[in-house]
Chain A
Amino acid sequence: MTAAAALQKAKTTLALTSNYAVAYAVKAADVDVVAVYPITPQTTIVEKIAEFVDDGELNADLIHVESEHSAMSAVVGAAAAGARVFTATSSQGLELMHEVLHIASGLRLPIVMAVPARALSAPISIHGDYSDVMNTRDTGWITYIASSAQEVYDTVIQAYKVAETALLPVMVSYDGFLMSHTTEPVELNDEEEVRRFLPRKDRPNVLRPEKPITMGAFAMPDWYYEIKYQVQEALMGSLKVVEEVDAEYGKIFGRSYGIVQTYRMEDADYAIIAYGGAAFGNAREAADIAREKGIKAGAIRLRVWRPFPTSHLLKQLAGVKAFAVVDRAIAFGSSGGGPVFLDVAAALWMNGIDIPGLSVIHGIGQRSMYVEDFVKIYEMLKSGERNKVIYMGLRL
């Protein structure tokens, strides 16, 4: 082995934004087709991928399309033909893709998409919250919410294995701007090793001229229900795939994350459930401060939002006296304020568990979330505030 090759094989750590971390992961996964339309804060992902393609570091077809609807349509077509594909978007772009998201999952195509989450219009906001990701809730996509650039990199690689095993599209989301445009150290894997982790497998049903098939045909009422149930069944079963892939990845590359992450939950009386980088970071710091004040505080992070990790979460909530969910999106007009709160409440109720909770809306349109706010949430839980929606950081 030459010195240069040895150097390349050695672990590389670079300072990367989460967006660049995605691009490096896409390169390592040796993706065939990338279709994309630029939108803030996603743009720099594909700028970096375009560089890789231009420099000959990634042998992929980069398709310039005329909208996000076309971007998703193009990767649906490429994936149908058996290619390994990638696209990325945010906010209104994700909304414009919405109808095609259903087609991707309905056709059971292993598409991977990165979504640095951003607030929705109107009014126009380029800043980060999770309104866009939460709006894709019922589209049948496996949805991760990562909380560090390193995790973004690792999750995109894992996502290909999950997608190609479960035959479902996978979305990897993370905080817009707070992560997409901030730099962290990221340890990169040896690309040969990543390619061994992601072997090319022949999918049984792809478009090829020798053996014609029809994809996306019409289904009468006596067929449609069964085909959609297949998606539901695959999605519910995919949590196991997510877990196995994470464990296998951990064995090979030394980093794994699990389905839910916890902080000081061993003896916690009061838990904050959060997702994304900023919220979980704040919750952890606040838990330390709350504990100094004598409140047994802990934090839980959902790493996987769809399929909803009901049993993993309930295990964590088992000994808790009260919990709060910090949502960075509003489920407008709903019974419980935030989208994740609704699922947590349903998970408890469906399993006959009665733990009181607070639905906290915060960080909308990237409104600053302070650690003190999270400490206040622990204090509210301790003081017995129960079962209501709190709009934190709002000028009321």
Chain B
Amino acid sequence: MSLPRVHEIPIGGIITEPGSSRKNLTGGWRSLKPIIHDDRCIRCRICWTYCPEGTIKEIKGEFVVKGRKYQYKYEIDYNYCKGCGICAHECPTKAIEMVPEA
């Protein structure tokens, strides 16, 4: 996505349309990146609850992991994840690992 030039931005950096923060990707300042190990995930939804930025996406579908069937799986939206590590800290099964950003 190309960003607007100086004269295309409303003066004063005012935001005039709702929902436009989606264009402002906030993942750029991350130094550690959470990785979900799906085989250890028990679908408790605690990471989804705790993420301060709402970057954990709940994906519906049929998922078979180690012979068990699940209705959901969780993914991280790296466009907005700031790498704060709260999800990894809160995960009761240590299914989320923080790895250095490449």
Contacts and interface: CB of A to CB of B under 8 A. Distances in A.
B15 A108 contact: no
B6 A229 contact: yes
Contacts of B14: 107, 205, 213-215
Nearest to B3: A222
Given A212-B18, A217-B13, A226 B28 contact: no
Contacts of B93: none
B3 A205 contact: no
A228 to B, nearest CB: 9
Nearest to A224: B13
A227 B9 contact: yes
Interface residues of B, number: 19
A205 B26 contact: no
B102 interface: no
Interface residues of A, number: 23
Contacts of A350: none
Nearest to A234: B11
Best-surrounded residue of B9, B11, B12 (most CB of chain A within 10 A):
B12
Interface in B1-38: 3-6, 9-16, 18, 21, 24-26, 28-29
Contact of A214 (B3, B15, B29): B15
B26 A108 contact: no
Interface in A357-383: none
A109 B13 CA distance: 12
A78 interface: no
A219 interface: yes
Interface of B: 3-6, 9-16, 18, 21, 24-26, 28-29
18 contacts: A106-B13, A107-B14, A167-B11, A205-B14, A205-B16, A212-B18, A213-B16, A215-B14, A217-B13, A219-B13, A220-B29, A223-B13, A227-B9, A227-B12, A229-B6, A230-B12, A230-B13, A234-B11
